[in-house]
Structure 1
Amino acid sequence: MITLTIGRPRLTLGLDEHQRVDHDTHVRLHGELPEITADDLVVLAELGALRGCGGAGFPFARKLRSVLRSAFRRRTPARVVVNAAEGEPGSAKDRMLLQRLPHLVLDGAELAARALGASEVVVGVADRRVPGADEDPAQESLRAAVAERRSPLVFRMVRTPHRFVSGQAGALVQAVNGGAPIPPGEPRRASESGVAGLPTLLSNAETFAHAALLALGGAYRYSSVGTSEQPGTILLTVGGSVVVEAPAGTPLVQVLHMCDVSPGQAVLVGGYHGSWLAPDAVARASLSREGMAEVGGALGAGVVLPLSGATCPLGEVERVLRYLAGESAGQCGPCVRGLPALAESFAALVGGGGEPESVLTAAEVGEGKGACAHPDGSAVFARSALAVFAEDVSTHALTGGCGRPVAGELPLTDEPADRRARLHLDWSRCDGHGLCADLLPDLVLLDRNGYPRDRDVLVPDALVGDAELAVRMCPELALRLRARG
């Protein structure tokens, strides 16, 4: 994992000399954690205009106040939860913090726990363990950090599946409470009823790291960089693997230049619930909430994904829409029916048929009625793609494609272990009978000439039997079922 810094490092202080900052080094760099009251922490968060860095951007001071009020009214203790589950496939910043700078995150969580009178801090992490290994490096670093701190607080790690919706706040609370790691069927405020039904302060790892910087260095020092509306620095994940710390307000093109990447056809900002920016918008965009809003975007989860000119943009968008449909919690109509319909309507555009209006209609189904923000966020992604890649839509409609392969440049979460089969097509044998599409309508899509559009298709475990039948029935023996490598 590569970490870069524009300007003087704040969150990433020490990484120029250390692969991982242990507790002694952390204290040498930042100082001892101060004792502050809940009111002081609220004031610091307000002075630093601190908002959640996981996507929603909710003011941290308001969360604190809400938890304090709930705990006081109910005469109950509070809980603190660090969300480092990071369901976004293109995001690595929270993982980087746990792996290389764990004490900055734990400092912020401990400050909040002390201020709220909480005896326990829960850290939610995505389960990315390699088969045969006990833990991944981020989890090992977190366990080592807890031992190094010798804190009277209890720090507990909870693993969740590495899925898109498992990183959502409500899904993490359910996982901590022993339930399914999916968003609850109805909106719930963790500040009212979170872990064990108690008032819970829940925010992502970067947010707690910023809270620690505010307490350790003071609001004046914290606000000496950034913008007046958004002081401090931000963490971005560029291209799925490079984490960049930059002052808020930094031009997007400066970040891309530092990472030695071109804006290409467009840049996706904010993750898979975010928006595409055309090259002219990229040239004007600055990395703050206000700066991104001016060009029609949003920082979201801090994901920046440039798309090169070597890949078909419509095919890339379709890949992600199918992934998002597959990541549904499966508990409401807008997800169960709406997201597959959205993916299919976009697939029709890729094949040269269909109409943009069909995509827009599918995006409107159940809008604002989902059990979580997943359907609406996916619709934002699809609408944005229609606007930015309008010329490509026209080209595909006229010629049936753009002549470029789908290179898979947009990162997707590794498939779960029960999805290991792939259906492979031998183009030299295929004669366009279309029988495979009849047998596997949910997997095999035909182009306007009647040939399968994808050479390699992931087969869910439930459809392996149907895929085996398609292999046996193919008149030209053009199909093979392979184990995923």
Structure 2
Amino acid sequence: MIPYRVSQVRRLGPARLTAGLDQHRRLDLNTHYTVHDQLPGQTVDSLIAMAEEVDLRGRGGAAFPFARKLRAVASRARDSETVVLVNAAEGEPASMKDKMLLTRVPHLVLEGALLAASAINARQVVVAVAAGDLAEASMTAAVAERGLSGCVRVAGIPERFIAGEGGALVRAVNGASGVPPGRKTRSSESGVDGLPTLLSNAETFAQLAVLAELGPEEYASVGTVQEPGTVLLTVGGSVASPSVVEVTPGVPLAAVLDLCQATVGDGVLLGGYHGKWMAGADSYGAIVSRRGAAEAGGELGAGIVVPLDGDTCPLGETARVAAYLAAQSSGQCGPCRLGLPDLARAFAEVEDGAPDGPDLVRAAAAAVRGRGACFHPDGSARFVLSALDAFADDVEEHRVHGGCGRPVLDVLPLPITDESDARLVVDWTRCQGHGLCAHLVPELVKLDHHGYPVFMDSGIPSWLRGEAQKAVEMCPALALRIGEK
């Protein structure tokens, strides 16, 4: 039986990253070498040449050219020790592809990382993964199977949405708080232990291993000219068969949705919670590739596909995630600390049917875009703004009727944590509208036009626990407490 936390694997095209998984629950080292060849060592120049020939891009969402990262670290290897860092943190709740790789084909990821480490003479490979996850146990076992415990380290880090951001990941691996550093520092210059670090996503290293095994010509025999090879998609939401699907770029998104028996009503989320909503009709005309998604108005990102059926309210689903994204910020800069809560509150106004709701959302999004210490504000704004366009008819229905009559069924996946349950609760029989709470924790509380508090419908982030407790203690009417929803 495949563990319940790992999505089933499906394919549209050849099995490369998922080879052998139709017969085996997990490929241990011996089984791995019955499916894949043992790879000879490569020089850094040959690895760079292969990666450039097929334009291998990072699969974590940003699609940065892997050859450029490899060349940047290699140029510093002559004067410094280096490290290879595999980003398998995958804090995005809607994604399962990296967890699947580490759980079921860990040696494929290791092969790619070790290949790169040998080429740049790295002193260590670090695999960063959510602490306590099944993927951590599988990768730890894979390292032991190879007898590499001295040179490969599996680093379990706290699972948060922003944990996979490059700077946050490096900080977490180095033992600091896993939040973005606030200023741009290239990992190729200073990463793990302050050393030049080759940092890329788990799927990227698995793709590198497949590329080295097949060679550029065979690797590029499938896919498109611009985007050869295969790509992993996590397909969830309103589907009968949630799956990680290996596909060749160029196939219709409709084929992927049909394979997973999706029910598409209002729309499809492409690219995850930093991606974009697409209207249902538009999604069936989209092509699976970075270019194809962009041409259809979407964003392929890290390969997340979440369709919504017609039974759940799409505005309510979006509002849930907007509140979650606001709570997941590190609270280090104004756009995250104040702007994202404002954005979430503004979209809640849209859900409630406020006539000026869309204008409030656009104003809140404009206040955060391009101003954050990391990409979290920009990605969150993109996700929320796309809902206004994709669900324009629903926005109008909520404005006219105060709602669409459909419940919010929690189709979009969010983590279940104790932190999300703790929130500010008011006793309305005591509250006298002093407004002090809004001054103490403006990230969580706003005042309505009567001067009474309006609360964020999300948990209290860890970085705001102290301020929230202070607001409770200083409430003049003793009306405020920390409780559960």
Residue aligning to 1:25: 31
Residue aligning to 1:312: 313
| Residues 12 and 398 of structure 1, relative CA distance in 2, 3 Å threshold | same
Do structure 1's residue 181 and structure 2's residue 164 form an aligned pair?
Answer: no
Residue aligning to 2:298: 297
Residue aligning to 2:387: 385
TM-score (norm 2): 0.87
Do structure 1's residue 277 and structure 2's residue 278 form an aligned pair?
Answer: yes
**Pairing partner for 1:408 from 403, 407, 410:** 410
Q: CA–CA distance in 2 between the matches of 1:350 and 1:199?
A: 47
Question: Which range moved further: 214-223 or 87-96?
Answer: 214-223
Q: CA–CA distance in 1 between the matches of 2:420 and 2:268?
A: 30
Residue aligning to 1:132: none
Residue aligning to 2:350: 349
Q: CA–CA distance in 1 between the matches of 2:294 and 2:421?
A: 41
| Residues 445 and 197 of structure 1, relative CA distance in 2, 3 Å threshold | closer
What is the CA distance between 1:357 and its match in structure 2? Answer: 1.6
What is the CA distance between 1:154 and its match in structure 2? Answer: 0.7
Structure 2 matches for 1:54-73, cutoff 5 A? 54-72=60-78
Residue aligning to 1:196: 193
Residue aligning to 1:161: 158
Give deviations 1:63-110, integer Å, cap 9, x for gaps. Answer: 1111112333xx112110000000111001000000000000000000
Q: CA–CA distance in 2 between the matches of 1:460 and 1:23?
A: 41
User: Amino acid of the residue matched to residue 293 of structure 1?
Assistant: A
Question: Aligned with 2:369: secondary structure?
Answer: coil
Q: CA–CA distance in 2 between the matches of 1:14 and 1:395?
A: 49
Do structure 1's residue 238 and structure 2's residue 235 form an aligned pair?
Answer: yes
Q: CA–CA distance in 1 between the matches of 2:234 and 2:405?
A: 30
Identity %: 52
Residue aligning to 2:338: 337
What is the CA distance between 1:57 and its match in structure 2? Answer: 0.3
Residue aligning to 1:11: 17
TM-score (norm 1): 0.87
| Residues 66 and 16 of structure 1, relative CA distance in 2, 3 Å threshold | same
Contact preservation (8 Å) 1:85, 1:126: yes
Contact preservation (8 Å) 1:31, 1:216: yes
Give deviations 1:102-131, integer Å, cap 9, x for gaps. Answer: 00000000000000001210000112x3xx
User: Amino acid of the residue matched to residue 333 of structure 2?
Assistant: C
Contact preservation (8 Å) 1:265, 1:278: yes
Residue aligning to 2:91: 87
User: Amino acid of the residue matched to residue 362 of structure 1?
Assistant: A
Aligned residues: 462
Q: CA–CA distance in 1 between the matches of 2:431 and 2:176?
A: 42
Contact preservation (8 Å) 1:93, 1:243: yes
Q: CA–CA distance in 2 between the matches of 1:460 and 1:150?
A: 40
| Residues 388 and 165 of structure 1, relative CA distance in 2, 3 Å threshold | same
Q: CA–CA distance in 2 between the matches of 1:94 and 1:15?
A: 15
What is the CA distance between 1:366 and its match in structure 2? Answer: 3.7
**Pairing partner for 2:119 from 102, 107, 115:** 115
What is the CA distance between 1:396 and its match in structure 2? Answer: 1.0
Give deviations 1:150-197, integer Å, cap 9, x for gaps. Answer: 348611011221111111111111112221101111011111111122
**Pairing partner for 2:81 from 77, 82, 85:** 77
User: Amino acid of the residue matched to residue 170 of structure 2?
Assistant: V
Q: CA–CA distance in 1 between the matches of 2:169 and 2:470?
A: 34
Contact preservation (8 Å) 1:250, 1:286: yes
| Residues 437 and 14 of structure 1, relative CA distance in 2, 3 Å threshold | farther
Structure 2 matches for 1:98-109, cutoff 5 A? 98-109=102-113
Q: CA–CA distance in 1 between the matches of 2:288 and 2:338?
A: 35
Contact preservation (8 Å) 1:436, 1:444: no
Contact preservation (8 Å) 1:236, 1:303: yes
| Residues 143 and 312 of structure 1, relative CA distance in 2, 3 Å threshold | same
Do structure 1's residue 263 and structure 2's residue 267 form an aligned pair?
Answer: no
Residue aligning to 2:221: 224
Question: Aligned with 2:284: secondary structure?
Answer: helix
Question: Aligned with 1:335: secondary structure?
Answer: helix
What is the CA distance between 1:447 and its match in structure 2? Answer: 12
Q: CA–CA distance in 1 between the matches of 2:126 and 2:405?
A: 50
Question: Aligned with 2:318: secondary structure?
Answer: helix
User: Amino acid of the residue matched to residue 185 of structure 1?
Assistant: G
Q: CA–CA distance in 2 between the matches of 1:313 and 1:125?
A: 31
Contact preservation (8 Å) 1:162, 1:413: no
| Residues 227 and 436 of structure 1, relative CA distance in 2, 3 Å threshold | farther
**Pairing partner for 1:394 from 393, 396, 410:** 396
| Residues 383 and 223 of structure 1, relative CA distance in 2, 3 Å threshold | same
Gaps of 5+ in 2: 1-5
Q: CA–CA distance in 2 between the matches of 1:202 and 1:301?
A: 16
| Residues 422 and 310 of structure 1, relative CA distance in 2, 3 Å threshold | farther
User: Amino acid of the residue matched to residue 273 of structure 2?
Assistant: Y
